Structure 1
């Protein structure tokens, strides 16, 4: 039996997959903080903050590719292979969507942002923080109760995001704004809502994993 096959049959180094998950969650949280900083900055500061966007995207790609490469090299995995793939790709999507929203803030050249965007920025950070905690709980084999409690907090945040989006959309189409402004803000609103949805998807995946292994 070749050494390559033996390596595949052996379990990967302990916590290696979870380390990649943690990297992906950390860069998603950093990206949410970047969005918050841009929303609360002036035009000149936005350019300085956006320098970080490329670095964060590269880190997100590295975390996803590292996890998938390890998955491809391993026959034995700590959790189901499809769960590893889904968590890895969704963590990357989370960062990608947030960074796209950050770039759009610059492209649309809106001088200042309303309270709705600022509220979205606040709950996005909260969701990303809870997601990072949830990944850590999964890595450390926390109890099902701890994992479901954290997941419930993420769901509550996502529900709050839905409420904000509903109110924002209703106000946006009230007739007070020109069409171009409506299109710009609607895109920003939806971008952050998509990021919150992805956090919720990852949360559901982790709860299902915990249930299977409890």
Structure 2
């Protein structure tokens, strides 16, 4: 048997897949913190904060590509190959969606941040924190009960995000804003809601993995 084939048959050392997951979850949390910092700071600081966006996007891409490259080079994986691909891809999507919302604040010239955006930012940070937790639980093969509880917390946060979006939709269509501004705000609101949805999707994936291996 060739050394190359043997390397593919052996499990990857040092939990490398899980390390890539953790990197993806960390940069997603950093991106959520970036959004929070932008909407809770002086407008003049926005450009300073947005400098970090490119760095976070690069890290997210590296985590995704690293995970997929390892997947292509490995026959035996610690969890199902499809699950690895889905978690890696959704972690990248999470960061991408959040960073897009950060940049759109500038592109759309949103020069003041209402309480809805600030509430969304707070909810997003909570979700990203729990996302890092559930990825950590996956890595250490935590008991099913712990994974389930974390998944429920993420679902509760997503539900809170739905409530905020519902109130936001009512508010922007109240007639107080012109049509163009409505479109801008709606895109920002939906972007953050999409990020919350992705966190929930990842939580479902991790919970399903825990169920299969319990």
Fold match (TM-score > 0.5): yes
Structure 1 residue 42, shift from structure 2 partner: 2.3
1:182-197 → structure 2 map (5 Å cutoff)? 182-197=182-197
Quote the residue 2:159 is aligned against.
Answer: 159
Structure 1 residue 111, shift from structure 2 partner: 1.8
Q: Is the 8 A contact 1:42 1:112 kept in 2?
A: no
Measured in 2, the distance between the counterparts of 1:105 and 1:41 equals 13
Quote the residue 1:36 is aligned against.
Answer: 36
Quote the residue 1:62 is aligned against.
Answer: 62
1:21 aligns with 2:21: yes
For residues 104-139 of structure 1, give each alpha carbon's deviation from its aligned partner in whole angstroms, at most 9, with x where no partner exists. Answer: 011111221100000000000000000000000010
Which ranges of structure 1 fall in alignment gaps of 5 or more residues?
none
Aligned residue-pair number: 214
TM-score between the two structures when normalised by the length of structure 2 = 0.99
Measured in 1, the distance between the counterparts of 2:37 and 2:106 equals 12
Which ranges of structure 2 fall in alignment gaps of 5 or more residues?
none
1:53-202 → structure 2 map (5 Å cutoff)? 53-202=53-202
Measured in 2, the distance between the counterparts of 1:41 and 1:109 equals 15
Measured in 1, the distance between the counterparts of 2:180 and 2:74 equals 50
Quote the residue 2:213 is aligned against.
Answer: 213
TM-score between the two structures when normalised by the length of structure 1 = 0.99
Structure 1 residue 178, shift from structure 2 partner: 0.7
Instruction: Classify the secondary structure of the residue corresponding to 2:14.
Output: coil
Measured in 2, the distance between the counterparts of 1:10 and 1:141 equals 20
Q: Is the 8 A contact 1:42 1:111 kept in 2?
A: no
Moved over 4 A (4+): none
For residues 54-90 of structure 1, give each alpha carbon's deviation from its aligned partner in whole angstroms, at most 9, with x where no partner exists. Answer: 0000000000111111111100000000000000000
